[in-house]
Chains A and B, each alone.
Chain A
Amino acid sequence: MSREANPIEAPLAEVARKYIPGATGIASLKRLSGGASQEIWSFQATTKDDPVALILRRAPGGFRDTGRSGTAVPLATEAALIKLAEEVGVPVPPVRHVLTEEDGIGQGFIMDHVPGETLARKILRDEEFAEVRPKLARQCGEILARLHTVEKSKLPPLRTATGRDEVEQYFSTYEQLDYPHPVFELAFRWLRDNAPDDTTRLTLVHGDFRNGNLMIGPDGVRAVLDWEIAHIGDPMADLSWICINPWRFGNIDLPVGGFGTREDLFAGYEAAGGDKVDPARVKFWEVLGTLKWGVMCMGMASAFLQGDRSVERATIGRRSSETEVDLMRLLAPLTGKE
């Protein structure tokens, strides 16, 4: 797409002039990535002095559909959650402006561009992160503890999903995909038998707290990104999701994102005021998290068979077996450990 042909450039410049102090226009508008439920653009607001690096998060074509099987929140909700998280000390990209109808570029919001790295391979291997890596798990624990203290009365409308709700949601997706996976059946059975009871205290949870959604610099976690599947749920879910094997990127003995230990994560969580960590509930969510990724892989295979001829999608379909070996190691370990 040539820059001249980009229909959001002129209205976005107008928005910048209106809401970013000192902005004279915009430059370097560039689409960063995207998917079914989001567009991310980077751009700079030009000023008389240094330009201001900004990010526009926008619904595709301006309007968010139900996305991620109906679980994505509206973009205005996402912006509200980022502000609430900021108030309790969670590092986030400050929100500059939530788009209104009058802005004419659909639904979305503008936030600061926080410099850093999200790619796990770099964070786990590059020299510039060597010093901070051993500190990240504890920081993640501290951040999650703060995030889970956001007062529920302040929250915008959000769905509530208990462990049991999520098991049934994914079971129904699995059933619709209609391909036999005995290991997944075993995991669903185990999850139904081991679901946390209804007295579990529910809080705001991020829902996708993991490598890729954490902006990290040599000084540590700088921002928690991608709040689109935030909801009210079991806080242990956030502590487990970052520990599932796919997010360890090969560093299997460092369960927290491939960079740290559960002990550090939990110690940081409890020290920063989080509930006492319940290992049984953490295991429940780790099994469920692993199974979720497996069902998502099945979804990729199904999309491929229904006509999306992407080879990438097809090969992701063949990765549900990775989650099966992870599930077997969790539920029926060969050596009796873990």
Chain B
Amino acid sequence: MQDQPSAIELIEAVTEFIRNHAMPQLQGHAAFHARVAANALDIVKREMEIGPEANQQERTRLMALLGRDGTLDELNRALCGKIRTGEMGLDTPGLVDHLWDVTLTKLAIDQPKYSGYLRALEEKHKANS
């Protein structure tokens, strides 16, 4: 076990430093890139929070869908191959649900404010209610 503060807390502190202290002193391109850098750290933080468990679940679902073992990368490549040849597709039981789960998780990490993601969440909520 590492000492405090945690990696996530360190990232939060650096992000705050960039946004609240560095950025206001920068102009033009440098200010823009500082904003992008802070956004990148937000992605890292969310991936640390959400990624490990979500990746575990993704792997479990992929093993069930494909009936084989493998790393996340191997299983995703195998799934790609089956979709490419038409062996699996929109009518394969469980595939669409799996892809929705993966996609919503990716967005929750990469870009939780994206309009298409927010709309998909609303649609999911409506479909389930």
Q: How far is the CA of A312 from the CA of B34 in the complex (A)?
A: 10
Q: Does A324 contact B (CB under 8 A)?
A: yes
Q: Chain B residues with Cβ under 8 A from A251's Cβ?
A: 115
Contact with B along A184-195 (1 / 0, CB 8 A): 011011100000
> Please, which residues of chain A bring their CB within 8 A of the CB of B117?
322, 325
Decide: A180 near B79, CB < 8 A? Known: A325-B116, A329-B116.
Answer: yes
Binding site for A on B (CB under 8 A): 33, 36-37, 39-40, 43, 73, 76-77, 79-80, 83-84, 86, 89-90, 96, 99-100, 102-104, 106-107, 110-111, 114-117, 119-120, 123-124, 126-127
Q: Report yes or no: B111 in contact with A324, Cβ–Cβ below 8 A.
A: no
- CB <8 Å contact, A332 and B116: no
Query: Contact between B36 and A186 (Cβ–Cβ < 8 Å)?
Result: no
Cβ contact within 8 Å between A182 and B80: yes
Of chain B, the residue at the smallest CB distance from A321 is B106
* Given A252-B116, A324-B103, CB of A312 within 8 Å of CB of B36: yes
Residues of A within 8 A of B (CB): 180-183, 185-186, 188-190, 245, 248, 250-252, 311-312, 314-315, 318-319, 321-322, 324-326, 328-329, 331-335, 337
B104 is contacted by which of A248, A311, A315, A325 (Cβ under 8 Å)? A325
Contact check, B90 vs A332: say whether CB atoms are below 8 A apart. yes
Q: Of all chain A residues, which has the CB nearest B118?
A: A252
A323 vs B113: C-alpha distance when bound (angstroms):
14
Which chain B positions have C-beta within 8 A of A185? Answer: 79-80, 83-84
Interface residue from A180, A189, A325 paired with B103 (Cβ < 8 Å)? A325
Given contacts A319-B111, A322-B111, contact A333 B116 (CB under 8 A): no
Q: How far is the CB of A261 from chain B (nearest CB, A)?
A: 16
**Shortest Cβ gap from A231 to chain B (Å):** 27
Q: Which chain B residues lie closer than 8 Å to A190 at the CB level?
A: 90
User: What A residues does B86 contact at CB under 8 A?
Assistant: 189
9 A–B contacts from the bound complex (CB under 8 Å): A185-B83, A322-B110, A324-B103, A324-B106, A325-B107, A328-B99, A328-B120, A334-B123, A337-B123
Nearest 9 pairs of A and B residues by beta carbon = A321-B106, A185-B83, A180-B76, A334-B123, A252-B115, A335-B123, A325-B116, A332-B96, A318-B110
- A181–chain B nearest beta-carbon distance, Å: 7
B83 lies within 8 A of A248 (CB): no
Specify the chain A residue showing the minimal Cβ separation from B111: A322
Using A250-B115, A319-B111, A329-B120 as known contacts, say yes or no to A186 and B90 having CB atoms under 8 A apart: yes
Tell whether, in the assembled complex, residue A321 and residue B120 are in contact, meaning their CB atoms are under 8 Å apart. no
A315→B115 contact, CB < 8 A: no
List A contacts of B115 (CB < 8 A).
245, 248, 250-252
Bound-state Cα–Cα, A322 to B111, Å: 7
A103 to chain B, nearest CB (A): 31
| Cβ–Cβ < 8 Å partners of A182 in chain B | 76, 79-80, 83, 99, 102
Given contacts A180-B79, A311-B36, A331-B90, 9 further A-B contacts (CB under 8 A): A180-B77, A182-B80, A186-B99, A312-B36, A315-B36, A318-B111, A321-B106, A325-B117, A329-B120
Are A183 and B127 in contact (CB-based, < 8 A)? no
Give chain B nearest CB distance to A192 CB in angstroms.
Answer: 9
Which of chain B's residues have a CB closer than 8 A to the CB of A326?
Answer: 116
